[in-house]
Amino acid sequence: MNIDISEEAGVRYLHFGSDWVQGAMRIARPFALELDYTRGMMVPLLLHPDDWPRKVLLIGLGAASLTKFLYRYRPQAKLTVIEIDPRVTAAARQFFKLPDDPARIDIRHDDGADFIIKTRQHYDLILVDGYDADARTGRLDTLPFYLDCRARLADDGLLCVNLLSRRKDFHNSVTRLQDAFEGRAISFPACESGNAIALGAIGAPPAPTLEELKTAAAHLKAETGLNLLPALTRLAQSRHLVRGVLKL
């Protein structure tokens, strides 16, 4: 697998030997989330107070966008990152300003599906965004993997997955998530590029109203500059808001 870097209009992109974009960074704003789907993966922050999460597992480093955002704006969070290819980590450090802070960012070079079997840690938030050069997930989109993720979530923990399909058909993936989480899984389109964001939950069901989510989004934007209102609009257009209340 080749690792390629390109730049256009002030944005630096990561590629794995193909045209598929594996990550991006606006050079003038290295801690911001440039791609729509990465912004959508921060919707879980709207469901908890500012001191959440404290332990995060990220499977797939890419251009380190999610890692850097959480590092900057959730200073209480300890981040464990599983990346299968050490060259991706090197590229993230050289070209995408990944901080070198082992006390808060623990990067391990391992297969994500293997790691989730071996670890005995529990995490408040698990983020899965792992693809190869041909946009394939392999074991990271299987029922056993989702069951293993559920077993490694802390009380009231959330799993957030980036689903990518050339056909924009995520039915099978969402079915697997729903099976793993006993029905407590939802998905909503993140953007027009073929991504969707899926969430799986355990513990006490969050039941925020759309207005409460919008208030939380305004607070997050004021704190971080991240605008999640477009993501909430897509979520509101899904079937997961019942009489204005999120059902997860």
- The active-site residue out of 36, 124, 129, 141 is 129
Beta pairing partners, 159: 126, 200
Task: List CB contacts of 140: < 8 A, sequence separation 6 or more.
Answer: 59, 60, 112, 113, 128, 130
Q: Are 236 and 210 in contact (CB under 8 A)?
A: yes
Give the span between the Cα atoms of 161 and 197, in whole angstroms: 6
**Cα–Cα–Cα angle for 88, 91, 94, rounded to 5 degrees:** 155
In this structure, what token pair is assigned to residue 90?
Answer: 């090197």
What token pair was written down for 172? 């099978």
Q: Is 124 a catalytic residue?
A: no
ω into residue 53 within 30 of 0, thus cis?
yes
Residues with a catalytic annotation lie at 129
